[in-house]
Structure 1
Amino acid sequence: MQQTDFQNLQNMVLQAPIGICLLDATTMVAELLNDKFLEVAGKPRETIIGKFYWEPFAEVRELYEDALKNVALTGEPYYANEVEMTLIRNGREEQVVVTFVYNPIKDEKGIVVKIAVWVVENTIQAKARNEMGALNKKLTSSNLDMQTVNTDLSRLNSELLLSNKNIHLLNLRLQESETDFKRLVEQAPVAILVFRGPDMVIDLVNQAMLEILGKDASLIGKPLLEGLPEIKGAPAVDQLFHVFQTGEASDGNEAPVPIKTNGVVETRYFNFSYRPLLDKGKIIGVMDVAVEVTAQVLARKTLEANEQRLQSILDTMAEGVVIVNAAGQPTYANPMAQQIMGISEEQFKERDYNDTKWHNERLDGTPLLREDHPMYVVMRTGQPVFDQEIAIVQSDQEKIYISINAAPLRDGGIISFTDVTSRRKQLQQKEDFISVASHELRTPVTSLKAALQLLDRMQGNIRPEVLAKLLGQANRSLNKLSDLITSLLNTNRISQGRFPVHKTTFAIGNLLRGCCQHILSAGSHEIIQQGDLELQVTADEQQIDQVLVNLLNNAVKYAPQSRRIILQVEQQTHAVKISVTDQGPGIPADKVSHIFERYYQADRSGGELSGLGLGLYISAEIIEKHGGKIGVESKPGQGSSFWFTLPL
C-alpha cells in the first residue's frame, strides 16, 4: 500500500467526528482507534489497542459478541440505535445510551478482512429528548444527528497520539490492500466527500453523500463547481476552498447550501467538518464529513414562527393573560394584563395571585379567601374555571372588577381576564335606577290614589273648595306620572334608534317664553332672558322645548337658593348657542364628566332630590340628533351654566 493511502486512512480514522475502532476480522484485535472512541468507552488506550476486543468490554460481551461474530461470518453490518447499556467508564459503572455499527470492510474478493466499529454516545440527547416530551416528539429523530455531530465537531481539533508499535502494526496490515481507505469511505455510515487539488476535484464520495446530493457515481472526477454548479457562492463552499488554501480545519453548523433535486434548486442545511489532507506536509485535498439537518432547521424555524405568531396574538389581545408556575408565581403577563392591573410585567413577577399588595374581594365586598380564588381552585382540582368575577383593590388605585377564565398547565396555570368595571358600574346604575324609578313612580301613584279615594268617599257631599283642591292634587300627580312615563319611553326609543325629529322654523324667543311659564307661575324664581330673541331656528320645537324645560327644572331643583336664572341666546357663525345659568352651589369637578350619562344624578348625598337621572341624558340625545353640541361649565360655589347649540 502507498504511503499516501495509509496517511489518508489514518487521517480519516483519527479525525473522524465520531468514535471509530478498527478490528482484525479474524482475531478481533483492535488495530486502530481514535480519541472519540476512547471518550465513549471511558477506558485507557493501552487497555484496548492490540487487545482482543472483548477483553476491555467484558461487561457487554455477552450481549453483543454473537453480533460481532456474525458480521465477520456473513459480511452483513449490524446496527444498534440508541441502546441503553451499563459500561465501566473511568472505573465506575455508568448507564449510557449509545448508537453503534459493526461495519465490515471487504477485500477485492468480498472477504471480510476488517470490522470498523462506529460508535456515538447519545446519553445527553436521550435524556433531553425524554424531558422535552410530546412537544418535540416529531423533532427527536432528526435532532439526534444534529446534536451528536454538533458535540463531536467542537472537539475535532484535539491532537491524537499513537504509539510507534501500533502504527507499525497498522502499516503491516494495511499493505495487504491499496483500497482499504476507499472502502472505509465508501462503507462509512456518514456522508463523506474527498476532494483533490485546488479545483476541488471529487476523488471519493460514498453512497450516503450521493443520496444527499441526489447524484450518482458519475460525479467522481469532476471539479466540485462543475458537478454541482448550483452551490457556487454558498458560504459553506467558500469555506471549503479556504481550508485547502490555508490548511486550517473548519466546522460549521446549520450551513445553508442550495441543492438541485429533481430539477428544482432548494436550500438545505448541513453540519459539516472540513479537514485538510496532507502528503509529506503539503496540502493535497480536503475531506468533508457532513450531516444533513434540514428537517431539524425547518422544524425549528416553524416553531419559532409559531412562537412569534403566538406572541403577537398575546400582545394584541383585548384580554389580559397571565401564566403562573406551580407555586402560583407569575412568569408572563401580556400588555393588556399590565394595563388592566396598572403594573409592569416585572412587578407581576414579584407577586402571586393572592399577594398582600392587592386585596381580592367577592362581588358583595367580602374578602375572597385564598382557597376560593379561581387560580387556586384550578391548581387544586385540575379543572378549568370560566367567567368568575372578582374585585381587586390596590391601595393606590380605584377598585376594579375582572371576569376570570383559568385553566391548568402541566407545571402551573394560565389566567385570562377582562376588565368588567364599566359593566359592573352600569349594572349598579341600573339597580339604582330601578330603585329610584320605583320610588318616583310610587309617589305620584300614591298621591293620585289618595285623592281619588277621598273624592269617592265624599261624592255628593263635598265642598267646592275641597273638590278643587283634590282635583288639583290629582292632576299634579297625574302630570308627574305622565312625565316619568314619557322619560322612560323616550329613553327606550333612544336606545332602540326610534327617536324621530320633526323640524319646523320658529322664533327662539317664543319658545323661551313658553318653556318657563310653570316656573314664573310658582313665583319662586326670576327668569332673565338675554340676547337675540327674534333669531329664527329650524328644529323640532317640541323636543327643544323639552330640553329647555329640563335645564330650567334642574336649575330650580339643584340651586333652590339661586333666585335668578338667566336664559342667554347667542348667535355664532353657523349656530345658535342657548345657555341656562344659575347661581347655585355648582357641580364638583369629578362629576362634570358623567353629568350626561344615563341614570346619573349629580347629587345623591341626602336622597332629598327626586328624579330618574334621565333628563340630561335625553337632552344630550336630542341635541345630538339635531347636529348640535351640549355641555356644562361649573365651579363649586360659583353656579352652573348648561348650554347647547343648534345649527343655523
Structure 2
Amino acid sequence: MANSEERIQLLEHQNRELLAENLRLKTSGRQENDKRDIHDAAVEQLRQSNIRYRTVFENSLLGNKIISPDLKILQVNSALVKMLGCSSKDDLIGHHIIDFAHPDYKADWQILQEKLWRKNLPSFKLETCMVAKNGQEFWVSVTSILFTDDGGPLGFTILENIDKKKRSVNNLILREKWFREMTDIMPQQVWAADDEGNYSFVNSQSCAYFGRTEDELLTNGWQDMIHPEDKDSYLQAWGQALKTGRPLTFELRLKNKSGYYHWFLNRAVPIRDGQANLWLGTNTDIDLQKAKERQKDEFLSIASHELKTPLTSLKLYSQLAIKTNDADKKQDFVKRSVSHIHRLERLIADLLDVSKINAGKMSYEIERFKFDDMVSELAANMQSTTLKHRIKVERNDPAKLEGDRHRLEQVLNNLLSNAIKYSPEADEIVLESKVVDGNVIVSVKDYGIGISKDDLTKLFERYYRADNAAMKFEGLGLGLYISAEILKRHNGSLWIESEPGSGSTFFFILPLQGNSLLKEFGTDGQTFYDSNFIKINYVADRQWLEAEWIGYQNLESVKKGCMIMLNLLIKNKCSQVLNDNSQVMGNWSEASDWGAEYWFPAMTEAGLRKFAWIYSASAFSQMSANKSLENAPGDLQTVFFHNRQDAEEWLNRAD
C-alpha cells in the first residue's frame, strides 16, 4: 500500500498532466475555455486543501497519526513524536502503535482494532496508558476516525495527553476513599447534605445504628427516627440553619434499629462550595453523659432526702429530751437520737463509698479467708437485730475465698437488711451459700412484696453499667449499687429473681480463686468443643452450629466461648447458629457490651446471617442477651425463643 507521501506526489503528477491538457485546449473555443477554468479551479481547491491538511496535521498541539488496519503508523506529526519521547518521525513510521502501550493496557488497542475495522464503526474513543521511549508512563485520550482513500481504509487518530487530569481524578477518588474509610472508623455518625437539606453522604456508623442501608438513608434521611418530643424543634432549628447558613448544634434523641432511643449531639457546619453550601454534620452519642447528668441530679436528691429524714428526727428527739424532766422519757429520747445518729453514720458511709466508686478510689484489702465462717457470723449478728424474722441458713458449704472480707460482709449485710425491710408481713429469711465449679453462690430469699418486671428491668439497667451511681428504686437506697460495685471488683456479679407478691431472691456469685475455673473436656478443632461452660457442635446435615451454654457465665467465659464459636463458624463456612441459653443462670451483663461491639460484627463478617437464641429462665440473663443484640449489625437476623423446637423451625425456614 502506498503511503501518504507517495499519494501526494501522485496527485502533483496528475496536476501537471492536467495543466498540459489545458494548454492543448486553448484553441478549442469558448466552451473548452470554460471547462478549463472550472478544472483549474478544482485543481487549485484540491491543492489548497492539501496544504491546509498538512498545516493542521503538522502544527496541531495534539498528537496526530494515520494508522493502517494492522495498527502500523503511516504518518505522524511532531507533537506525537515529542509526546512519545522520540527524536524524529522515522522512529515511529512503520512501527506498531501498540509498541508504546503500557503492558497492562495493550488490550485497549486490540479493542480499537476490533471496533474500528472489523465492526466498521465510523469512530471510536478510549482512555489508555502509554509508555514513552524514556520509560515514562502517561495517560492519553484516543479518538480514531475511519476513512477510506484509493488505497483502502485508514485510521486518523488523535492522542491527547490527559495524564494530569487523570491523576487528579484518581487523587480525588483516593481522597474520597480515604474520607469514607476515616469516617467509617470514627465512633460518630457522619453525614453530608446540600443547601436544601438533601443527604449526599452517610458513613457506616449511621447505617449500623439505624439498621438501614446507605441508599435508604440518602433517600429518606433519619427524621422519622427522631423522638416525637424532639422532632419539631429539631426540624425547625435545622431549617433555620439551612436558611441562614449558620452552624447548628442540637441535642436530640434518635431511635436505633432495636427501638431504643439514645441522646445525640447533632452538629452541622456549612462549607462554601461555589455558590452553594455543603453541610457536613456529625451525630455524637451522648447518652452516657446524659445518664450521668441525671444520676448526678438523682444522687443529690437522694442524699438530701436521706440526710434530711434522720436529721429531722434527731432534732425532734433532742428538743424533746431538753424539754422533759422525766428521766425515763429523757433516756428514751436519747436512745432514739442515738439510733438516728447510727443511721446517719451508715448513710454518710454509703455516700462516701459512692463518691469513692465514682472517683475510682474504692480501696480493697485482699486476703484469703473462710467465707463460710463469715456467712455464719453475719447471719448470727443479723439475727440479734430482729425479733420478728428468723434467718434460716439452709446451706453453707465450706469455702476459702480470696477477697476483701469487710467489703463482702457489707454486701451480705445489705442483702439481709433489705430482705427484712421489704418483707414486713413475713417471718422468715432463707440464706444459702454453695460452692459450684470453683464459685461460691450466695442467695438471700424473702417472702415480701416482690418486684415487678418493669422495675426489675430498671434494676438491671442500674447494674448493667458500673457508673450508674445513686440511682434509687422504690426506697432501696444506695446499698445495692455499692454491693454490685464491690462484687464486680471481685470478678463477681449480682442478680435478682422476683415475683410481685411472692417475694424476691437476691443472688451473687464469686470465684474462689479470683477467676473462673474453665475446664476443657475435648475438641477436634473443627466440628466440636466440649467444656464445663459451653458445648459447641457443627451439625453437618443442617449446616449450622449448635452452642449450649452451661451454668453461671461471666466476661471471661463468654469471651472464650464466643471466640471458639467464631473459629468453628469460619472453619465450617456456615451462616446459621442455634444459641441455647436455657441452662444459663445469673447475670453476665459485663460481657454484653463486648458481644454487641465486637463479637456480633465479627461473626457477621465471617458469614453469620441467622442467629436463633433460646432464652435462659433467668430474667437478668435474658436482659443480658437483649443488651448483647441492641447494636448488632443490621444485616444479621436474630430472634429470641423460649424453646428449642421453635428455634429449629425458624432456622430451617427459607429466607
Taking structure 2 as the reference length, the TM-score comes to: 0.62
Structure 2 match to 1:320 = 189
Cα contact 2:100–2:131 (8 A) shared by 1: no
User: Equivalent residue for 1:97?
Assistant: none
**Equivalent runs, 1:1-80 vs 2, <5 Å:** none
| Distance of 1:525 and 1:7 partners within structure 2 | 122
Superposed displacement of residue 546, structure 1: 0.6
Deviation at 1:327, TM superposition (A): 4.2
2:163 aligned with 1:299, yes or no?
A: no
Residue number in structure 1 paired with 2:350: 487
Of the three residues 521, 526, 537, the one matched with 2:385 is 521
Match of 1:50 in 2: none
2:435 aligned with 1:564: no
Q: Is 1:583 aligned to residue 421 of structure 2?
A: no
Give CA deviations for 1:352-390 in whole Å, capped at 9, x if unaligned. 7877x856546xxxx85478x33123123221123x323
For the 8 Å contact 2:299–2:469, the answer to whether it is kept is: no
Cα distance in structure 1, aligned partners of 2:38 and 2:479: 107
Alignment match, 1:191: 63
Paired residue for 1:626, among 490, 499, 506? 490
Partners of 2:434 and 2:442 within 8 A in 1: yes
**Among 301, 324, 329, the residue aligned to 1:435:** 301
SS in 1 for 2:131: strand
Residue 445 of structure 1 is matched in structure 2 by 311
The aligned residue for residue 641 of structure 1 is: 505
Q: 1:416 aligns with which of 271, 282, 291?
A: 282
Post-superposition offset of 1:618: 1.5
Bigger helix share: 2
1:466 aligns with 2:329: yes
Contact kept in structure 2, 1:515 and 1:548, CA below 8 Å: no
CA deviation map 1:79-131 (0-9, x unaligned): xxxxxxxxxxxxxxxxxxxxxxxxxxxxxxxxxxxxxxxxxxxxxxxxxxxxx
Question: For each residue in 1:280-329, what CA deviation from the matched residue of structure 2 results, as whole angstroms up to 9, or x when unmatched?
Answer: 5x35x543222222222222222222223333344444223444444445
- Please tell me whether the aligned partners of residues 329 and 349 of structure 1 are also in contact (alpha carbons under 8 angstroms): yes
**Aligned partners of 1:580 and 1:538: how far apart in 2?**
22
The residue type equivalent to 2:88 in the other structure is: A
Q: Which amino acid aligns with 1:311?
A: R
Q: Sequence identity of aligned pairs in percent?
A: 22
- Of 93, 102, 107, the residue aligned with 1:235 is 107
Name the CA shift for 1:470/1:244 in 2 (closer, same or farther; >3 Å).
Answer: closer
1:297-446 to structure 2, matched below 5 A, reads 297-330=166-199, 332-338=201-207, 340=209, 348=217, 361=229, 369=233, 373-386=236-249, 388-391=250-253, 397=259, 400-408=262-270, 410-411=276-277, 413-446=279-312
Per-residue deviation, residues 500-544 of structure 1 (Å, max 9, x unmatched) = 223242352453333453454331211100223554444322112
Once the two structures are overlaid, the 10-residue window that deviates more, 436-445 or 507-516, is: 507-516
Q: CA deviation at 1:8?
A: 7.2
Supply the distance in 1 between the matched residues of 2:451 and 2:63 (Cα, whole angstroms).
Answer: 85
Mapped to 2, the partners of 1:179 and 1:251 lie a distance apart of 25
Contact 2:100–2:130 (Cα < 8 Å) also in 1:
no
Partner residue in 1 for 2:84: 213
**What 5-or-longer segments of structure 2 have no aligned partner?**
12-36, 513-655
Instruction: Specify the alignment match of 1:541 in structure 2.
Output: 405
The SS at the match of 2:370 is strand
Alpha-carbon distance between aligned partners in 2 of 1:3 and 1:341, rounded to the nearest angstrom? 69
> Which structure 2 residues correspond to residues 127-166 of structure 1 after superposition, within 5 A?
none
Residues 623 and 302 of structure 1: is their aligned pair in 2 closer, same or farther, counting only changes over 3 Å? same
SS at match of 1:215: coil
Change (3 A) 1:221 1:330: closer
In structure 2, what is the Cα distance between the partners aligned to 1:599 and 1:554?
A: 17
Aligned to 1:497: 360
CA apart distance, 1:626: 2.5
Residue type of the alignment partner of 2:469: R
The CA deviation string for residues 587-622 of structure 1, in whole angstroms up to 9 with x for no partner, is 33342422535323333xxxxx3x53x212221222
What code does the residue aligned with 2:57 have?
V
Q: Classify 1:166/1:532 alpha carbon distance in 2 versus 1 (closer, same or farther; 3 Å).
A: farther
Give the secondary structure class of the aligned counterpart of 2:461.
coil
d(CA) in 2 for partners of 1:10, 1:376: 76
Q: What is residue 136 of structure 1 aligned with on the other side?
A: none
Contact residue 360 and residue 392 of structure 1 kept, 8 A:
no
CA shift for structure 1 position 551: 0.5
CA contact (8 A) 1:6 1:171 kept: no
Query: Measured at CA, do residues 269 and 588 of structure 1 come closer, stay the same or move farther in structure 2, by a change above 3 Å?
Result: farther
Offset at residue 480 of structure 1 (A) = 0.9
Q: Helix, strand or coil for the counterpart of 2:132?
A: strand
Does the 8 Å contact 1:508/1:537 carry over to 2? Answer: no
TM-superposed deviation, 1:550: 0.5
Query: How far apart are the structure 2 equivalents of 1:625 and 1:495?
Result: 13
| Matching of residues 85-104 of structure 1 within 5 Å | none
Q: Is the 8 A contact 1:511 1:541 kept in 2?
A: no
Q: CA, structure 1 residues 197+513, in 2 after alignment: closer, same or farther (shift >3 Å)?
A: closer
Contact 2:142 2:157 in 1 (8 A): no
1:210-231 CA-to-partner distances (Å, cap 9, x unmatched) read: 2211222153565324995665
8 A contact 1:361–1:392 mirrored in 2: no
Q: Distance between the aligned counterparts of 1:167 and 1:528, measured in 2?
A: 131
CA contact (8 A) 1:9 1:180 kept: no
Please tell me the residue identity of whatever aligns with 2:240. V
Partner of 2:461: 594
Q: 1:568 Cα deviation (Å)?
A: 0.6
Pair 1:168–1:532, CA change in 2 (3 A): farther
Which is greater in Rg?
1
Structural mapping, 1:219-258, within 5 Å: 219-220=90-91, 222-225=93-96, 228=99, 234-239=106-111, 246=118, 248=120, 251-258=123-130
